Structure 1
Amino acid sequence: MTALSRKIAGHASDWDRDAAMTTARILLEIKAINFRPEEPYTLTSGWKSPVYIDCRRIIYFPQARTKICELAVEKIQRHIGYESIEAVAGGETAGIPYAAWIADRMGSPMAYVRKKPKGFGRNALIEGDVPEGKRTLLVEDLTTDGQSKIKFAQSLRDAGAFCNHAFVVFFYGVFAGSLETLAENDIALLYLATWWDVLEACRERPYFPAAAMAEVHRFLEAPAEWSAARGGATSNKRPPEE
């Protein structure tokens, strides 16, 4: 594991570490995690990847989603505070159910942010109500490099909300500069698990063959090079949010 991967995979406390492993095990159990190095996935950006995650599967499994939402709220309260969030906003579309569940558990108003405007005026991108003047938590299911989080946060800010925190269930934890770019835009990212946590959980049980595990590890250490070697995108830039 490189210095970058160790930095991203690191968790602030034993609780964070336990939450990461619980989340990774749940994702593996419900088959939201897929390893396919012999037939790589082609992302919409053109990148080739041996891994794919579908956090939308969580909504189908009641015990899994209940546990993940419990961990999410605990993480938010531990790292942001119990009374520091006044509204929760989900990003269209995958973030909406998570925002609803989290807002319900936190007793907070909930809105969602569109990718494209509908209607007119300041609230053209905001549904529910505009959390004007409220400290608002942006919620989505996952992030690769954080770019869509910056756009959603800016939409909330343009509408009059204060948005300096984002939460996702899963953070790729692969692409250098992701957290720094978010920080430059005054957004602190909270997440439950990364690909590194998934690899660690896979060492406990043989979810995938050893050869597939080794190839995924090679991808995570050098995703651009791995993609290029298999005819995928050759840009050194991070792929856009999928």
Structure 2
Amino acid sequence: MIPTAYPDRATMARLTARMLLDIKAVHFNTETLYTHASGKQAPTYIDCRKIISYPRVRATCMDFLCCTVMEAAGLEAFDNIAGGETAGIPFAAFVAERMGLPMSYVRKQPKGYGRTAQIEGEMREGDRVLLVEDLTTDGGSKLKFVEAIRGAGATCAHTAVVFYYGVMPGTEERLAEHGLRLHYLATWADVIAEARRGGDFTEGTLAEVERFLQDPDSWRVARGLS
């Protein structure tokens, strides 16, 4: 069911950050670093996929995401909800159910057999598609999924995520240049602020994480990392 009442954006950001912290989706470690998909190491890691295993957190985050998108784009702005392979698929399903819309998903690469499809489910030519994923860093993967959606004859002007890093300069501007508007619930700044309020990590850890997020490349160089 589509939610009709919701808090203001600042409250949604704070509550989303609190839920991510409560389910241990947020990981900070300034000594034993995490290796990201890019191959680079960092003292931060967030696993938004944990949300799917917590029904109350899942329901609240998906309500917030639907409300955020509908407030910005309108209640009748979409014909199809698409998830990006693989983390975006369950979130797209939850959003599609709430909005009462068809759901599809986009592969990273065309399937190498059968119909060699890149889009699964039914997406019609001219459909106005909302791309849903768990998170975004610099928006690069979103543009690849959107390219596939547009290549199928549909349109895609909006993408929605639970978590946006919010530290990569020019991300939203770069997406806008490709006709894509980003909607999100919380950023690293929101998570750090809530972690500081709740005492989830030591002040030393939070301060070091903030130094990293302000300039990841310089932070790595100072530690002798590539």
Counterpart code for 1:35: F
Q: Which amino acid aligns with 1:65?
A: R
1:96 and 2:89 matched: yes
Give 2:225's aligned amino acid: G
CA distance in 1 between counterparts of 2:29 and 2:127 reads 43
What does residue 5 of structure 1 align with?
none
Give the alignment's TM-score, normalised by structure 1. 0.87
Q: What is the deviation of 1:129?
A: 1.1
Among candidates 150, 171, 177, match of residue 178 of structure 1: 171
Aligned-partner SS, 1:136: strand
Which blocks of at least 5 consecutive residues in structure 2 are unaligned? Answer: 1-6
* Partner residue of 2:213 out of 188, 201, 220: 220
State the partner residue of 2:140: 147
Q: Residue 77 in 1 paired to residue 77 in 2?
A: no
Tell me if structure 2 keeps the 8 A contact 1:157–1:163: yes
**Alpha carbons 1:42, 1:232 under 8 Å: kept:** no
Written as runs of structure 1 = structure 2, the 5 A alignment for 1:46-125 is 46-118=39-111, 119=113, 124-125=117-118
Give distance in 1, aligned partners of 2:51 and 2:125.
31
SS in 1 for 2:31: coil
User: How far 1:120 moved relative to its partner?
Assistant: 6.5
Structure 2 residue aligned with 1:163:
156
Instruction: Report the Cα offset of residue 226 of structure 1.
Output: 1.1
Q: Secondary structure at the match of 2:185?
A: strand
Mapping 1:171-210, distance limit 5 Å: 171-210=164-203
Mapped to 2, the partners of 1:139 and 1:200 lie a distance apart of: 26
**Using the alignment, how far apart are the partners of 1:62 and 1:229 within structure 2?**
42
Q: Does 1:37 align with 2:48?
A: no
Give 1:27's aligned residue: 20
1 or 2 for the larger relative contact order (CA 8 Å, sep ≥6)?
1
Q: Which secondary structure state, in structure 2, belongs to the residue aligned with residue 25 of structure 1?
A: helix
1:107 alignment partner AA: G
Residue type of the partner of 1:77? M
Instruction: Give the share of equivalent positions with the same residue, in percent.
Output: 50
**Secondary structure class of the residue paired with 1:34:** strand
Query: 1:165-190: per-residue Cα shift (whole Å, max 9, x none)?
Result: 00010000111111111111111000
Counterpart CA distance in 1 for 2:128 and 2:217 is: 37
3-state SS of 1:141 partner? strand
Equivalenced residue count is: 219
1:174 and 1:223 in contact (8 A); partners too: no
User: Amino acid of the residue matched to residue 162 of structure 1?
Assistant: T
Distance 1:52 1:215 in 2: 14
Aligned-residue offset at 1:130: 2.1
CA contact (8 A) 1:179 1:189 kept: yes
Q: Tell me, yes or no, if the aligned pair for 1:90 and 1:99 is still in contact at 8 Å.
A: yes
TM-score (normalizing by structure 2): 0.93
Report the residue type matching 1:207 in the other structure: D
Q: How much has 1:231 moved relative to structure 2? A: 3.2
SS at match of 2:8: helix
Indicate the RMSD between aligned Cα atoms, in angstroms: 1.3
Structure 1 gaps of 5+ residues are: 1-13, 234-242
Q: Which position in structure 2 is the counterpart of 1:15?
A: 8
